[in-house]
């Protein structure tokens, strides 16, 4: 029997926020966090309806640590997709993405108003737009992608 990898993309255009959180939760089990023991899983839903998961990957050289949100972005980019519609994050305690991850999510968000970030807090699921969560992320007209 082949074990289904949570890292494989799946095309589920009607996936719910609860299902995204569940995928993030499943991925979280594979997080590599031997230093902080703070396991994080993330699951992106793209504008094409595909999902990509990621986990935090710590390093004994702490600055080399990468958050789950950014490893999920790496999986999405590796598959040739570039637009985040939603991202669910499971930290176990309802934590939202850090500032670096919010900036990274903004790079690929369908828009800051439409892109939503989902977490499971102790008092229930919270779903906020990127612009609500981080209204003043850095941007500049002088620094634009040239694809």
* Active site members: 69
Query: How far apart are CB 66 and Zn ion at their closest, in Å?
Result: 8
Tell me the three state secondary structure of residue 66.
strand
Q: Which of 55, 101, 117, 130 binds Zn ion (CB under 5 A)?
A: 101
Per-residue burial over 85-122, b if 16 or more Cβ lie within 10 Å, else e, is bbbbbbbeeeebbeeebbebbbebbbebeebbbbbbee
Please identify, using beta-carbon distances, which residue of 45 and 89 lies nearer to Zn ion: 89
Q: Is 121 in the site for Zn ion (CB under 5 A)?
A: no
Q: Which of 16, 29, 78, 98 binds Zn ion (CB under 5 A)?
A: 98
Geometric angle at alpha carbon 85, from 39 and 23, rounded to 5°? 35
Query: Binding-site residue total for Zn ion (CB under 5 A)?
Result: 3
Query: How far apart are CB 3 and Zn ion at their closest, in Å?
Result: 28
Binding site for Zn ion (CB under 5 A): 67, 98, 101
């Amino acid at each position: 029997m082949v074990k289904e990898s949570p890292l494989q993309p799946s095309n589920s255009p009607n996936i719910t926020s609860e299902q995204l959180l569940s995928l993030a939760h499943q991925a979280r089990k594979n997080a590599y966090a031997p230093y902080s023991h703070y396991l994080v899983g993330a699951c992106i839903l793209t504008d094409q309806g595909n999902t990509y998961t990621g986990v935090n990957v710590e390093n004994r050289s702490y600055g080399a640590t990468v958050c789950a949100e950014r490893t999920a972005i790496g999986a999405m980019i590796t598959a040739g997709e570039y637009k985040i519609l939603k991202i669910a994050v499971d930290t176990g305690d309802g934590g939202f993405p850090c500032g670096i991850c919010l900036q990274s999510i903004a790079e690929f968000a369908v828009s800051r108003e439409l892109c939503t970030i989902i977490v499971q807090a102790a008092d229930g699921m919270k779903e906020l737009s990127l612009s609500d969560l981080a209204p003043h992320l850095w941007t500049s007209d002088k620094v634009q992608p040239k694809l």
